[in-house]
Structure 1
Amino acid sequence: MVTVTAGTVETARELAASVPDPEMPMLTLADLGVLREVRRESDGTVVVAITPTYSGCPAMAEIRADIAHTLHRNGYSRVRVDTVLAPAWSSDWITGDGRRKLREHGYSPPGPAPRPGPVALTLGPAPRRVSCPRCDSTDTQRVSEFGATACKAIYRCRTCHEPFDHLKEI
């Protein structure tokens, strides 16, 4: 006997898309661009595919649990959350609304992701043009390439003197 789950695939997608990122709760999974696909299998299971921002992202277990909990709470009895690694997530997948929310919450959104092609040999991280989320100045200085999470770097604005996190381009 097949258990039929409540709701449509479109509703399941909307619910999964609305789940907040556990590290930056002002962003939804849709804002971040990590939600890849929502489909229903023949046995009624709703399958949600997500791509991590980093392959070793420590928030993935919580994201999977939050998606499953949200769908279960809304009547979807059979849920599976799959992690999809290819193609790899790109910071270009962050929506315009997501970039706005980052800036409004004091984060510097990433610029365009590096494009394939010849890569100049450098001994340090690639230089970035980073603007301050508070005063919009581009007179900024990297304090540390590594912030609270692997996807963030710490910068300081030389104009308003405020420190801020910058989401790295991937």
Structure 2
Amino acid sequence: MTAVLDRAEVLSRAWAAAATVVDPELPMLTLVDLGVLRDVTIDEDGGVVAAITPTYSGCPAMATMRDDLMRTLRDAGFPGARVRVALHPAWTTDWITPAGRAALASAGISPPGSAPVRTGPVPLQLTPTRRAVRCPRCGTDDVGLTSEFGSTACKAMYQCRGCGEPFDHVKEI
């Protein structure tokens, strides 16, 4: 019984440590808020294994997320901690928590709406994607797309026609 309790305590401590790691591109979000931290387990040898899912294929922040997560777990007393990449199911912006969405808006970044439901291949689209976007500063939906790519590839740049502020919008995936 003690081994089970010890294992549960180790797992709880590992989750608590992993939950503090922030996204390098959106530092107002933890990996939990972003929905990237999928699981923390203990392997058959008693080592901690954290699973993360990339926001999209080729995300340049993945290596930093992995390194930050490993460093945090090791600093928390888990020297053999490992990070595994889980590709299935694919990440979606629907996994961003309500607290994460509120943190984005508070930081002046428009949070994503609901992710599109797709069955089958993604169609080629040469025109800008239509999105329901609100200005995170004044709340109006009277906004204009400035660029399909904002400060990172996963964000689009908009400008509010009401208050004039430019802002990023996290693209729905």
In the aligned structure 1, how far is the partner of 2:125 from the partner of 2:82?
A: 42
Q: Is 1:147–1:154's contact at 8 Å kept on the other side of the alignment?
A: yes
Aligned pairs for 1:59-138 (under 5 A) are 59-117=61-119, 122-138=125-141
TM-fit CA distance, 1:121 = 7.2
- Residue by residue over 1:78-134, the C-alpha shift from the partner in whole angstroms, topping out at 9 and shown as x without a partner, is 111011111110000000000000000000000000012588875313200100000
- TM-score, with structure 2 as normaliser: 0.90
Is 2:52 the counterpart of 1:46?
no
Aligned-residue Cα RMSD (Å) equals 1.9
Q: Which has the higher helix share?
A: 2
Provide the secondary structure at the position in 1 that maps to 2:18: helix
- Structure 2: segments with no counterpart, 5+ residues: 1-6
Contact persistence 1:44–1:78 (CA under 8 A): no
Residue 165 of structure 2, aligned match among 142, 146, 162: 162
Distance 2:67 2:97 in 1: 23
Sequence identity, in percent?
A: 56
* Alignment pair present for 1:149 and 2:166: no
Contact 1:55–1:85, Cα closer than 8 Å, also in 2: no
CA shift in 2, pair 1:139/1:16, >3 Å: same
Size of the aligned set, in residue pairs, is: 166
The answer to whether 1:58 aligns with 2:94 is no
Contact 1:32 1:94 (8 Å CA) reproduced: yes
Q: Structure 1's 57 and 121: CA in aligned 2 closer, same or farther, altered over 3 A?
A: closer
Where has structure 1 moved over 4 Å in runs of 4 or more?
117-122
Give the match's secondary structure for 2:130: coil
Tell me the equivalent position of 1:36: 38
- Which deviations, in whole Å up to 9, do the C-alpha atoms of 1:47-93 show, x marking residues without a partner? 10000111111111111111111111111111110111111100000
SS of the residue corresponding to residue 108 of structure 1 reads: coil
Tell me the amino acid that sits aligned with residue 146 of structure 2: V
- TM superposition shift of 1:17: 1.5
